Chain A
Amino acid sequence: MLTLRSAQTLQLTPPRLLRPFSLLYLIILFISLYRFNSIQLNELIKPNSKTLNSLSFYTMASSLLQSRIPAISFSSSLSSGIQWRASAAFPAKPRRKSSPVQAKIREIFMPALSSTMTEGKIVSWIKSEGDVLSKGESVVVVESDKADMDVETFYDGILAAIVVGEGETAPVGAPIGLLAETEEEIGEAKAKAANSSSAPSTHPPAASTPPPPSAVAPPPPAKAAAPVPTDGPRKIVATPYAKKLAKQHKIDINSVVGTGPFGRITAADIEAAAGIAPSKSTIANVASVAATPAPVAAAPPPKAAANNFVEIPGSTVVPFTTMQSAVSKNMVESLSVPTFRVGYPVATDALDTLYEKVKPKGVTMTALLAKAAAMALAQHPVVNASCKDGKSFTYNSSINIAVAVAINGGLITPVLQDADKLDLYLLSQKWKELVEKARAKQLQPNEYNSGTFTLSNLGMFGVDRFDAILPPGQGAIMAVGASKPTVVADKDGFFSVKSKMLVNVTADHRVIYGADLAAFLQTFSKIVENPDSLTM
């Protein structure tokens, strides 16, 4: 869900807002913003602009967006939201200001009620569609992993449509209902609700639903088929679970032909109509005939059968932490990007000398490398670019160096923003702060998801070279190995010993080509070999 939304957002928000870990961070973001205060809809009901999700709304790191906030938050309309999306090209002109202020249909969003909440379940709608709401009234009860909370409205209006029904689940920030200001707008809001609920991006099925099998999905067999001839106008009989599933998958139960006992519609019929794999939920009465005990043992563990992994006795399974899940998700996502790697040996004697000199002033090697990379990137903007949609280059206006840090069995990438502009000492200071915050788990989202280029250094372990996986959303990542004394021959045949380190850059070949990377590395190497510019 978030990723889908992110994709939409990308076009008009600076890409740094949507970095690999954005999923994770959205939540943290909400906390810091809401600080567990009473949840009021004024913070949750935002203008209906699909292109703006709550993340971008609040992250606003970019000045670009910032300038537009007032217009967005208080006077948006359906149509203007759409317009804005259309004007999605990168530095969008603030044309929304000129868009007329028309209907006031506001979305009610799923609030974040706790730090660990990623999705919420609608416990109950206190109000129903068509009810007139006045400011401060409780509208809906939302269940988080911690508690149930009444959510109040900050606006007067009419509850025009309920997008996410009772018992259903929606991710934090997803619209769950629409609030119209006047009765005339109810129709419009309803149409809107119908659209959005049919679009899977705004209304994901409950988590328990098996994903649609891509290849197998049969066309809805019963839909639109001629009604089965029956004796007279037979009433439709559907089992309770079938009705629930139909509601969940928005299947019109009247269009489904029942194949169950007595022609009733069963859950399997609905699943077939919805084109999803039948759930294996039917509970087996394993031994109704031969009542011998322990009939269950015979069944092979289905999981093993599913992915052919041999189960090794004595192994333990430890589920991912949230951070690890985010890493896993990003790593799998990275497989869709065509990457290549270019390595380069860099002499570090001069850098090492400089390092000795500036070390007492609190400068770290990380800061030195980040600064060097940033300066090189300034000369090679394409390496600082990224490919968001497979069709275009996205050139980033700032150079933000993300640095991979291993932390408590996880991995996080604090970002040194505008690394090319800050001087070495400020950068070092900044880095120290970021590391402290990372340790205390207090990094703000834009402090870990706004990178445009990533640096990963395993040199301190003596690793001489490695290659890194490109985080989705960025153009390149640099893997730095250890600096080692190396015998080199110069052009006159003299041997000498110089410290060299191997850097290896992984890049997205859709936007960054071999020559780009080579040129970038050459520049980087020159900067490192003549590091005086780093201190300027």
Chain B
Amino acid sequence: MAVDAFAASNSIGSRSLRFCGLRREVLGFKSLSSTRLVASSPQRHLKKVSASLSENGTSSKGFDYDLVIIGAGVGGHGAALHAVEEGLKTAIIEGDVVGGTCVNRGCVPSKALLAASGRMRELQNEHHMKAFGLQVAAAGYDRQGVADHANNLASKIRSNLTNSMKALGVDILTGFGTILGPQKVKVGSTDKFDGKTVITSDHALKLEFVPDWIAIIGSGYIGLEFSDVYTALGSEVTFVEALDQLMPGFDPEIGKLAQRVLINPRKIDYHTGVFASKITPAKDGKPVTIELIDAKTKEPKDTLEVDAALIATGRAPFTKGLGLENINVETQRGFVPVDECMRVIDANGNLVPHLYCIGDANGKMMLAHAASAQGISVVEQVCGKDHVLNHLSIPAACFTHPEISMVGLTEPQAREKAEKEGFEISIAKTSFKANTKALAENEGEGLAKLIYRPDSGEILGVHIFGLHAADLIHEASNAIAMGTRIQDIKFAVHAHPTLSEVLDELFKAAKVKVSVSSPVGEPVAV
């Protein structure tokens, strides 16, 4: 499943599954209108689901389940819950722990670390406290305590997920799921799983030590969040970024502002346009060394000597061992090819019946909530309803202090699209400095940016940098999902004084040429 902002770096080991021991097989018959799906999800364990659906959801004669999901991450969990609600007999296969990357190694524990380190940062900021009239004696932290908080949170969420599925009657099958053929899935053993080679954010989340100086390879969401954690706990950070600028993927303006607030004033420096070609762990009294080469010329550029290195360049899909070869599906860079409805495409470009793939495994959008949304969309289709998920309505967030969030297109993307399709775009911006609640919190640093079509009032993208940006984005993402136009949403009322007024201001600042539209437009699928 997906992870919200976590990428794993390497590898999760080979998954040669031996199917000795117990193996359960799920066989499917061909039922009449059997829609079956196998959704395979990303991440570490993939989940794939093969299911057959019989009429009205009672168990089909020949099939063990209507729907089998391989991988119990957030995507699989979301799909399972929705499937039960739709009356499908559902099983979920998990070879490791329930919750997947997000809950165990990704967004969830990292949020715990960020919550602790964010408070630490605040308490250390004498100027900030003074502005409230507060005095704080020397603030300090207990590393183990912080690490425990992250661990406890992960296990709590894990058991919540497990219990919610159990309570609804989802069968949780333990083992690695492998597709044997159409509508046929095998549950293998759980041994042979090698997770040791992962040195990455997984490890960092355990917070086993706080280095004086850590190099973070990659300055995307994950790297940025970790820099937030480590600098708050006293480390100095060096970013290594392959692209020419930090924070690729963010709207450039937001990235610039974020750099000004999250990087420049902190104990962080960076090397851009370089690859970390070789990382030598610390040993024999020598520090960790990282050799940098120019990203374009591949010439050696520099060598860093640091106390620790964190690889945060993105998570790899975990699609080996799924048995994709049995159904003639070839992965592309590890990702399972799918169409816009998550239907798996085989090597000949044909759709594989009854098999769907969601989450990190398809690489469309490696975010936990995207996986979950994809899973729900698949269940809808399995149940015979047309549903296409609009990925442009899926928000993303980076939980630094302050947070960054976005939905839809960035400004350059929007401009490109506008040029291609021949429409105009406009930009509206509002500042947190004008927001009462933000000022009350002494957190006036921030910007919200709206990219829209002045001719129709359609929202193309919203980007927020500021206090609680991750919570604020949903008004915009919902509007995009529902097809709500600016000229309509700007009449919606926001409580005062709240941060949500930042978006209120934003919508009001937009200059749309049409004044009236139907109260709620038709949802636009993209």
B267 touches A299 (CB 8 A): no
Instruction: Provide the residues of chain B in CB contact with A286, threshold 8 Å.
Output: 140-142
Q: Which of B140, B264, B433 contacts A283 (CB 8 A)?
A: B140
Q: Is the CB of B305 within 8 A of A237?
A: yes
CA distance A287 to B265 in the complex (A): 28
Which stretch, B1-9, B70-78, B233-241, B411-419, touches the partner chain A?
Answer: B233-241
Given A283-B120, A283-B234, A285-B210, answer yes or no on A240-B267 (Cβ-Cβ < 8 Å).
yes
Inter-chain contact count A-B, CB under 8 Å?
A: 96
A491 contacts the other chain (CB 8 A)? no
User: Contact partner of A241 among B124, B210, B236, CB < 8 A?
Assistant: B236
Q: Which residues of chain B are near A264, meaning CB under 8 Å? A: 213, 305
Q: Is A303 an interface residue (CB 8 A)?
A: yes
- Tell me the chain A residues, 259-281 only, with Cβ under 8 Å from chain B: 260-262, 264, 267, 281
Residues of A in contact, count (CB < 8 Å): 40
The reply on A7 being an interface residue by CB < 8 A is no
Check B142 against A295 for contact (C-beta < 8 Å). Answer: yes
A296 to B137, CA, bound (A): 8
B236 contacts A295, C-beta separation under 8 Å? no
Does B130 reach chain A (CB closer than 8 Å)?
yes
- If A285-B141, A286-B140 are given as contacts, then 8 extra A-B residue pairs at C-beta distance below 8 Å, sorted by A number, are A123-B260, A241-B236, A283-B140, A284-B138, A284-B140, A285-B233, A288-B143, A299-B140
Binding site for A on B (CB under 8 A): 120, 124, 127, 130, 133, 135, 137-145, 210, 212-213, 232-234, 236-238, 256, 260, 264-265, 267-269, 286-287, 303, 305, 307, 431, 433
Q: Chain B contacts of A296 at CB under 8 A?
A: 137-140
Instruction: From the candidates B130, B233, B303, name the one contacting A319 in the complex (CB within 8 A).
Output: B130
The 5 A-B residue pairs with the shortest CB-CB distance in the complex, in nearest-first order = A283-B234, A286-B140, A240-B269, A241-B267, A284-B140
Find out whether the CB atom of A283 lies under 8 angstroms from the CB atom of B141. yes
Contacts A244-B269, A303-B135; A239 near B142 (Cβ below 8 A): no
Q: Shortest beta-carbon distance, B204 to chain A, in Å?
A: 16
Shortest Cβ distance from B270 into A: residue = A240
Chain A nearest CB from B17 CB (Å) reads 39
Chain A interface secondary structure, helix, strand, loop or mixed? loop
Task: Contact check, B138 vs A167: say whether CB atoms are below 8 A apart.
Answer: no
Does A332 belong to the interface (CB within 8 Å)?
no
Given A291-B145, A302-B138, verify A235-B237 contact (CB < 8 Å). Answer: no
CB-defined contacts of A441 to chain B, threshold 8 Å: none
Which residue on B lies nearest to A304, using beta carbons? B137
| Interface presence of A433 (CB below 8 A) | no
- Least CB distance from A503 to B in Å reads 41
Can you report 30 A-B residue pairs in the complex whose CB atoms are below 8 A from each other? A166-B264, A167-B260, A239-B212, A239-B236, A240-B236, A240-B237, A240-B267, A240-B268, A240-B269, A260-B212, A261-B212, A262-B286, A262-B305, A267-B267, A283-B124, A283-B141, A283-B232, A284-B138, A285-B143, A285-B233, A285-B234, A286-B140, A296-B140, A299-B140, A301-B135, A302-B137, A302-B138, A303-B135, A317-B135, A319-B133
Determine whether A300 belongs to the interface, using a CB cutoff of 8 Å to chain B. Answer: yes
> Which chain B residues lie closer than 8 Å to A167 at the CB level?
260, 264-265
CB distance from B438 to the nearest CB of A (A): 13
A146 to B444, CA, bound (A): 9
The reply to whether A262 and B433 contact each other, CB–CB distance below 8 Å, is no
- Assuming the contacts A124-B260, A296-B137, A296-B138, asked whether A283 and B233 have C-beta atoms less than 8 A apart, the reply is yes
Task: For the complex, give the distance between the alpha carbons of A302 and B237 in Å.
Answer: 28
Query: In the assembled complex, which residues on chain B have CB atoms less than 8 Å from the CB atom of A267?
Result: 267
| Distance from A209 Cβ to chain B, minimum over Cβ atoms (Å) | 13
Tell me if B269 and A243 are in contact (CB < 8 A).
Answer: yes
Within 8 A of B (CB), among A429-447: none
Say yes or no for A293: interface residue by CB 8 A criterion. Answer: yes
Q: Does A147 touch B at the CB level, under 8 Å?
A: yes
A336 within 8 A of B: no
Chain A residues, CB < 8 A from B267: 239-241, 244, 267
Least CB distance, A309 to chain B, in whole angstroms = 12
Question: Is A308's CB within 8 Å of the partner chain B?
Answer: no
Does A282 make an interface contact (CB < 8 A)?
A: yes
B238 and A240 contact, CB distance less than 8 A: yes
CA distance A291 to B137 in the complex (A): 20
Contact assessment for A293 and B145 in the assembled complex, using a CB-CB cutoff below 8 Å? yes
B335 to chain A, nearest CB (A): 35
A293 partner residues in chain B, CB cutoff 8 A: 142, 145
Task: Mark out the residues of chain A between 197 and 253 whose CB falls within 8 Å of any chain B CB in the assembled complex.
Answer: 208, 235, 237, 239-241, 243-244
| A299, B136: Cα distance in complex, Å | 11
* Chain B residues whose C-beta falls within 8 Å of the C-beta of A240 in the assembled complex: 213, 236-238, 267-269
CA distance A316 to B286 in the complex (A): 52
Q: Taking CB as reference atom, which chain A residue is nearest B133?
A: A317
Chain B residue numbers with a CB within 8 Å of A166 are 264
* Assembly CA distance A266 to B484 (angstroms): 54
Given A240-B267, A262-B305: A291 and B130 within 8 A (CB)?
Answer: no
Asked if residues B138 and A291 are in contact (CB atoms below 8 Å), the reply is no
Contacts of B127 in A (CB 8 A): 208
Are A288 and B264 in touch, CB under 8 angstroms? no
Query: Which residues of B lie under 8 Å from residue A146 when comparing CB positions?
Result: 433
Residues in B whose Cβ lies below 8 Å from that of A124: 256, 260
Contacts of A244 in B (CB 8 A): 267, 269
CA distance A235 to B304 in the complex (A): 10
> A283 vs B126: C-alpha distance in the bound complex, in angstroms?
13
In the complex, which residue of chain A has the Cβ closest to the Cβ of B256? A124
Residue in A closest to B209 when the chains form the complex, CB atoms: A288
Q: Is the CB of A147 within 8 A of B433?
A: yes
A241 → B minimal CB distance (Å): 4
Nearest-Cβ distance from residue A291 to partner chain B, whole angstroms: 4
Which residues on B sit within 8 Å (CB–CB) of A123? 260
A248 → B minimal CB distance (Å) = 11
Establish whether residues A147 and B287, one from each chain, have CB atoms under 8 Å apart when the complex forms: no
A residues less than 8 Å from B305 (CB atoms)? 237, 262, 264
Q: Which residues of B contact A316 (CB under 8 A)?
A: 133
Which of chain A's residues have a CB closer than 8 A to the CB of B145?
287, 291, 293
